[in-house]
Amino acid sequence: MHLGILLELMRHHIDEIEELFKKKDNHFMVETGDLAVLCYELMLENGGSIDDILMRCFDRYDRKLESLLKEIDS
């Protein structure tokens, strides 16, 4: 039940972020922060460590970005 509510709130924030961004309304950044908080809540409620998960994600992002840059340089 709570998971469903969190996911619905996330979807709502994504829609709102897209709408605000298209309007060039910088409030989209606050809504993005709200989305991050909801994501953190989801991680914590399911026994995740925010630090561990974010470090893993940043490492993955770095590898993907490096790969994309290599493709552009080729």
Give the whole-angstrom CA distance, residue 67 versus residue 53. Answer: 21
pTM of the model as a whole: 0.83
Per-residue model confidence (pLDDT) at position 47: 96
Per-residue model confidence (pLDDT) at position 60: 95
> Cβ(74)–Cβ(53) under 8 Å?
no
42: CB partners within 8 A, 6+ apart: 3, 6, 10
Q: Where are the alpha helices (DSSP H) in 1-74?
A: 2-22, 28-45, 50-73
- How does pLDDT run across 2-54, given as a tens digit for each residue? 899 999 999 999 999 999 999 999 999 999 999 999 999 999 999 999 999 99
